Amino acid sequence: MKQADLLIAEIGSTTTVVSAFHQLNTDPVLLGQGQFRTTVSEGDVNIGLAGAIRDLEEQLGEALRYDRLMASSSAAGGLRMTVHGLVYDMTVRAAREAALGAGANLKFVTAGRLRRSDLAKIREIGPNIILLAGGVDYGERETALYNAELIRSLNLAVPVIYAGNVENQEEIRLIFEGSPNRLYVVDNVYPRIDELNIEPTRKVIQAVFEEHITHAGGMEHIRDLVDGHIIPTPGAVMEASILLKEELGNLVCADIGGATTDIHSCTADSDEFAGILLEPEPEHKRTVEGDLGMYVNRMTVLDLVTDRELDSRLGLDRAEAVRRSEALPPIPDTAQDLALVSLLAETALVTALRRHAGVLKEYFGPSGRKLAALGKDLTPVKHFIGTGGALTRLPDGEAIIRRALARESRLELLPRPDINIWIDRDYIMASLGVMSLQYPEAARKLARKSLSIPEGTP
């Protein structure tokens, strides 16, 4: 019988993957991986979990005994959240950044006082968590209190996180007293003008998700098998990125999947542009592009590829490219299909990076033309990590990233083309993010192995 210290399950919307790890306190190793279809729709996610463990045992050739099981999940709709703040470019944006960084699937965002149509939308969405913000500390109070009263009136048994004006905290507690909402009060996400404070809220969102995930349809029995942490899968990738940032320095992690492309950046602003940034940006930022996927949204990505690229790279005209893209299997295996998917992955990555990164803006002031920076500054990034099915399973994952970074970007604050590129060969970034919550040193060592990072780097 094979012994493992820890199993970590990544419970996706369609597939559940289980990875086995051993020797966590000495020289940690990945023993193997198994997979099975996710069975949330069948009423019990444990069916898929058990199937993935059986598949793992078949890969290992013997029965498996393990001490603990932890998990990340994007099943059952992932972490559905709504966010409600005061001013869109201030408290709303800060709350939104905290939610995305935690791995949320943002379904609805509002600024100012909630309207009846907003309340109907919240009820229709049925969020897992509602995040309420508004007002700098000791600033405007009334909007957050007004919104809290309306959210309370919905009578939804949904956790509410309040991350607004500290002066409202006691009154917020009184509003939700006796309600079906479990209330969590955390530090203001926007305590002062031009200051973001999203990390406390990000951590609380993940903790609330873990506490309440067992109420989602099909997930009610997950604690029968999983005895450790359960966090949103995108949030797990962010945790792994933060861990590696401490190890390597400024980095970007790109996760290109079948339905979305996520970009995680962990970097401070550069000295070159910090003085001309118009708005603050979080050190740890995630964006998710729901229209950029290698399978579900491949036709949308194809629309972004130019006719010239199709001809020069693949020798195809538009009609033939459309035909081949429509016929693409979930896992391409021919040289023609691999070349097409590589071009789609490169296009998705370029597009997602440009949406994530900031830009330089030229304007005219009293003393002539000036330059300002708006958005996230990625120019200090020294390391680029590729994960997700496309970048880890295509044979030219590193080349895809190199080509994407080499595209012209005169006014965009993108990473330099000559940075270090690492591929998550074992496809375990999400698992390592979960592991890092309890076994950070083992997660660091396993990350270096999966990414093939030599000792002493940087």
Report pLDDT digits (tens) over 4-33.
999 999 998 888 999 999 999 999 999 999
| Predicted pLDDT at 365 | 73
Is residue 47 classed as helix, strand or coil in its secondary structure? Answer: helix
Q: What is the mean pLDDT of the chain?
A: 94
Q: Is residue 154 part of a domain?
A: yes
d(C-alpha 381, C-alpha 263), whole Å = 13
d(C-alpha 185, C-alpha 133), whole Å = 10
d(C-alpha 187, C-alpha 137), whole Å = 10
pLDDT(227) > 80 = yes
For 351, the token pair is 């597009």
Domain end: 215, 250, 271, which one?
215
pLDDT(274) > 90 = no
pLDDT(455) > 80 = no
What is the residue type of 409? S
Q: Is residue 164 part of a domain?
A: yes
Question: pLDDT grade, residue 415 (50/70/90)?
Answer: very high
| Predicted pLDDT at 309 | 96
| Predicted pLDDT at 10 | 94
CATH number at residue 289: 3.30.420
Domain end: 186, 215, 244, which one?
215
| Predicted pLDDT at 118 | 98
Phi, psi dihedral angles at 397 (to 5 degrees)? -55, -45
| Predicted pLDDT at 281 | 92
| Predicted pLDDT at 368 | 75
pTM higher than 0.95 for the full model? no
What is the b/e burial string over 174-187, where b = at least 16 CB atoms within 10 angstroms of the residue's CB? ebbeebebebbbbb
Report pLDDT digits (tens) over 286-339.
999 989 989 888 999 999 999 999 999 999 999 999 999 999 988 888 999 999
User: Structural domain of residue 56, as residue ranges?
Assistant: 2-76+217-228
Rounded average pLDDT over 177-187: 97
Report pLDDT digits (tens) over 62-89.
999 999 999 999 887 789 999 999 999 8
Rounded average pLDDT over 139-159: 97
pLDDT(217) > 90 = no
Q: Is residue 456 part of a domain?
A: no
What is the residue type of 19? S
Contact (CB, 8 A) for 155 and 179 = yes
Report pLDDT digits (tens) over 80-137.
999 999 999 899 999 999 999 999 999 999 999 999 999 999 999 999 999 999 999 9
pLDDT(181) > 80 = yes
Which candidate, 38, 4, 34, places its Cα nearest to that of 19? Answer: 34
Task: Let me know whether 283 and 400 are in one domain.
Answer: yes
Contact (CB, 8 A) for 184 and 130 = no
Task: Let me know whether 281 and 375 are in one domain.
Answer: yes
Question: pLDDT grade, residue 214 (50/70/90)?
Answer: confident
Is residue 276 classed as helix, strand or coil in its secondary structure? Answer: coil
Count: domains in the chain = 3
Task: Let me know whether 242 and 373 are in one domain.
Answer: yes
Task: Let me know whether 85 and 66 are in one domain.
Answer: no
Please give the DSSP secondary-structure letter assigned to residue 376. Answer: B
* Chain CA centroid to CA 187, Å: 22
CATH number at residue 191: 3.40.50.360
Question: pLDDT grade, residue 215 (50/70/90)?
Answer: confident
Domain end: 179, 195, 228, which one?
228
Rounded average pLDDT over 390-418: 92
Q: How many alpha carbons lie under 13 Å from residue 313 in its C-beta half-sphere?
A: 20
Task: Let me know whether 255 and 334 are in one domain.
Answer: yes
| Predicted pLDDT at 243 | 97
pLDDT(273) > 90 = no
Question: pLDDT grade, residue 213 (50/70/90)?
Answer: confident
Share of the chain above pLDDT 70, in %: 100
Question: pLDDT grade, residue 362 (50/70/90)?
Answer: confident
Distances (CA, A) of 426 to 32, 317, 432: 9, 36, 11
Contact (CB, 8 A) for 240 and 350 = no
CATH number at residue 31: 3.30.420.40
d(C-alpha 58, C-alpha 428), whole Å = 20
d(C-alpha 122, C-alpha 108), whole Å = 8
- The top-scoring range by mean pLDDT among 40-49, 159-168, 263-272 is 159-168
Task: Let me know whether 112 and 156 are in one domain.
Answer: yes
Report pLDDT digits (tens) over 428-439.
999 999 999 999
Task: Let me know whether 45 and 85 are in one domain.
Answer: no
